[in-house]
Amino acid sequence: MLKDQIKVLQEQIEQERQSITSKEELGAFWQKHLGKAGSIAELMKGMRDVPKEEKKTMGQVLNEFKGMVNERYEAMKKRVDELELEKRNQAEAVDITMPARIRPMGGLHPITITRNEMVNVFAGMGFDVFEGPETEDDDHNFTRLNVQKNHPARDMQDTFYLSPDMESILLRTHTSPGQIRVMDMKKPPIKVLVPGNVFRSDSDATHSPMFSQMEGLVVDKGITLCDLQGMLDQFVKEMFDENVRTRLRPSYFPFTEPSVEVDVSCFECGGKGCSLCKHTGWIEVLGGGVVHRQVLENCGIDSSVYSGFAFGIGIERIAMLKYGINNMSVLFKNDLRVLKQFQSL
């Protein structure tokens, strides 16, 4: 009787175990057969009706059966764990062939690109970079640069004054006060660039109330105008074209003596004449000169021992020439259709 029951149960278990794939099903199987009220416990109860002489053998058979079911259970548990792990791995799998979500990328502004490029060229010649304040006092912006009060040169630059007296505190009109600040901090040899924003109350196609300049200053023993031209020659070759040449024209700035305007041979037409160079073959790019003795003395540098040159380059001017932009306001309007063209630079 009991033997037959075992046989039936064994067949039932063999069949059931085929379909068990989850922890829940496994739990139910345990409850049904191995639990306190399970089928095996039920069989154990049947032992009461087994005749005395068969009790020992039947007990053994029943125990072996229970051991076998336990083994089956352990084997199933192992398989279910593996299946669950596999399921989880599948659910968490990363599809590396899936196309990426493309986010819009920003780019550098053409003025920043040009400025960086200019700094790189001069850094290659050993220049340091100094950035002075945009708010200046009269002393740094004018007086110590040899532009005395009532000097007519003050009318050359339309100044934004910030102080009520309309003369002491102002927005710097050029990066040249950076020269004074550097010479106050450091004694020669000096080789420094001062890039930054400058401000003038001026606005038309080629002027903007705010624009950026890059000042260059070299002070050492025996510095001449030839050193300035040699260095600028190298600069324009690297910025524009290997075949570009420079030309100096006499000019006037209160802080340099002699002062020069620097032209480059037109890199568009090679000097034959075109609309970019207004058919002259030359393009004006910057101003500079030998630092005025008075400016050196104003900073406590002995002008009988040291000399220097300085130059100021309009960064927008270089960007306009380099990228063929004919209106300065294009550089300040930040029209995305324009800026996107510089994204890859």
Q: Which residues bind Zn ion (CB under 5 A)?
A: 266, 268-269, 274, 276-277
Q: Which residues, other chains included, contact 2 with Cβ-Cβ below 8 Å and sequence gap of 6+?
A: 43, 46, 47, 49, 50, 58, 61, 62
**Which of 34, 269 has the CB closer to Zn ion?**
269
The position carrying tokens 């069989």 is 43
Instruction: Name which of 236 and 301 has its Cβ closer to Zn ion.
Output: 236
Token pair 């002259």: residue: 280
Spell 139-169 as b/e; 16+ CB within 10 A means b.
ebbbebbbbeeeeeebeebebeeeeeeeeee
| Cβ at position 239, least distance to Zn ion in Å | 16
Smallest gap, in angstroms, from Cβ of residue 281 to Zn ion? 6
Report the residue number, 227 or 268, with the smaller CB distance to Zn ion: 268
Please report how close the Cβ of residue 330 comes to Zn ion at its closest, in angstroms: 21
Q: How far is the CB of 146 from Zn ion (least distance, A)?
A: 36
Closest-approach residue to Zn ion (CB)? 266
Cβ proximity to Zn ion, 198 vs 283, nearer residue: 283
Cβ neighbour number for residue 7 with a 10 Å cutoff: 11
Q: Least separation, in Å, of the C-beta of 311 and Zn ion?
A: 23
Radius of gyration (C-alpha) of the chain in whole angstroms: 44
- If the CB atoms of residues 186 and 237 are measured against Zn ion, the closer one turns out to be 237
Taken as a whole, the chain contains a residue count of: 345
Q: How far is the CB of 264 from Zn ion (least distance, A)?
A: 10
- CA-closest candidate to residue 172, choices 219, 327, 301, 181: 181
At closest approach, how far in Å is the CB of 317 from Zn ion? 16
CB closer to Zn ion out of 9 and 269 = 269
Instruction: For residues 333 and 15, give the distance between their C-alpha atoms in angstroms, rounded to a whole number.
Output: 79
Comparing CB distances to Zn ion, the nearer of 249 and 340 is 249
What is the C-alpha separation between 193 and 268, in angstroms, rounded? 28
Nearer to Zn ion, 2 or 276 (CB): 276
> Sign (positive/negative) of CA torsion 287, 288, 294, 296?
positive
The total of other beta-carbon atoms located within 10 Å of residue 198's CB is 24
**Which of 205, 211, 199 has its CA nearest to residue 172?**
199
Cβ at position 276, least distance to Zn ion in Å: 5
For residue 207, which of 260, 138, 158 has the smallest C-alpha distance?
158
